[in-house]
A = this chain, B = another copy of it.
Amino acid sequence: MEQENHNNNNCTNDKESACISSVLPGWFSEISPLWPGEAHSLKVEKILFQGKSDYQNVMVFQSSTYGKVLVLDGVIQLTERDECAYQEMITHLPLCSIPNPKKVLVIGGGDGGVLREVSRHSSIEQIDICEIDKMVVEVSKQFFPDVAVGYEDPRVNLHIGDGVAFLKAVPAGTYDAVIVDSSDPIGPAQELFEKPFFETVARALRPGGVVSTQAESIWLHMDIIENIVTNCRQIFKGSVNYAWTTVPTYPSGMIGFMLCSTEGLEVDFKNPVNLIENDEIHSKTLPPLKFYNFEIHKASFALPSFAKRVIESKGN
């Protein structure tokens, strides 16, 4: 199999199209050093967009069975068929855990899907978003109208720029919730997995405020998760929890989230107090929730024993 060693290369080089043509012709194959030895492939009907922004390669293709697909640096960010799981869970897990959230900040999330979910909450008055790459915003508005619909909410303020710098400039205690919708810790999102970043998030939150961050898969990245948990336990003095959801087109078919709160009014993430399902506004302006509900919220914190042993041992 020596002749196939090029398959071990990350697709995130200059020619992203190499992921399509050289590995599995007619298919897009997601191959990365973050998940060596495995690849998820989707059959491609048509490539709709390929561009290179200041930060990453951006591609959109029409797949045979998952609708349109957004790819950044060779890694699938969302497909129309399963994006509901990720967007709804990363958003409603934090926002349904506190009563009456009013000010929310989204870091990353340029596709607008998290904004769409935040906008279901009628209590919210201000939705700030800081996305580093404006090409992601533009491409989403062009190709994913059902995702980018989040931008149509008049409460949304879009800032194109670095999330860390944005957070540092914000007055302490500004937000009820921060949602960090990042890509993997290789590339532009790397800083968003490090301790100084979590410190700036904690500072920007009010006492008893909450943060939700993309936190990889327990099947693939317990080392990264251990590190994040250790950092979060040092910084977030309210509570620190790990939850997860199924997402078929993410590596290992799942993704996790860190749910943390700052010192203040206690937040019991496992027992949501703000039931979005009862919030009337979302039924008028958006289609119903596809994935999230009260039971799946509570269930998402249950961990397989192998992960529980590691996560709970980190200085709880």
Contact = CB atoms under 8 A, between A and B. Distances in A.
A219 interface: yes
A1 B25 CA distance: 8
Interface string A229-256: 0000000000000001011101111100
A164 interface: no
A214 interface: no
Contacts of A38: 40-43, 65-66
Given A24-B29, A26-B7, A1 B44 contact: yes
Nearest to A288: B305
Interface string A56-68: 0000000111100
Interface stretch (A98-106, A149-157, A167-175, A293-301): A293-301
- Residue among A38, A217, A292 having the largest count of chain B Cβ atoms under 10 Å: A38
This protein's copies in its complex: 2
A82 interface: yes
A300 B244 CA distance: 12
A207 to B, nearest CB: 29
A158 interface: no
Contacts of A315: none
B37 A24 contact: no
Nearest to A251: B248
Nearest to A296: B302
A298 B302 contact: yes
A39 interface: yes
Contact of A305 (B37, B66, B290): B290
A219 to B, nearest CB: 5
Interface of A: 1, 3-4, 7, 23-27, 29, 36-44, 63-66, 82, 84-85, 217, 219-220, 244, 246-248, 250-254, 288-293, 295-296, 298-306, 308
In the A-B complex, list the 8 residue pairs whose CB atoms are closest, starting with the nearest: A253-B253, A37-B65, A4-B26, A299-B302, A37-B64, A299-B299, A248-B252, A1-B26
